[in-house]
Amino acid sequence: MATPYAGFGNVIAFQSFVGELLTCRLSGTGRGEIPTFHAGSTSGTPMKTYMPEPFTDPGSLNVEIHFDPADTPPWGVTEATACVVTWSDGSVWTTEGILESIDIDGPIENKMVLSGVIKLSGNIVIT
């Protein structure tokens, strides 16, 4: 059974930008299928058959981060760059990604927050 951990103290480093994670959601991972049925298929009842595509989409990280306006978010990067998430239990996810979008919210008398989507490129290595 997995041990539950509080999210306090999770950190993301993306290019030269480092921030405390408020939320982090991995979404959009998946693998497509390739149809393998044909007119000569003899599987009894006519059913479609499939095999997995050879490539898997690693998905995106949807993050909310405490934002310091003195820090420059890594926009304008033209290639996938290092993305490291350090979790409160000491686990580290290392991958590469591209910053797809950001929104910055600076409410009066509250914390400034950067919400962003990082499109992952390649495997996530967990240490």
Q: What is the pLDDT of residues 72-124, one digit of tens each?
A: 777 777 888 899 999 988 899 999 999 899 898 988 888 889 999 999 998 89
Where is pLDDT greater, at 121 or 41?
121
DSSP string, 47-69: ---EEEEEEEE--EEEEEEE--T
The Cα–Cα gap between 27 and 19 comes to 20
Has this prediction a pTM greater than 0.85? no
Please identify which residue in the block is written with the tokens 């290392």.
94
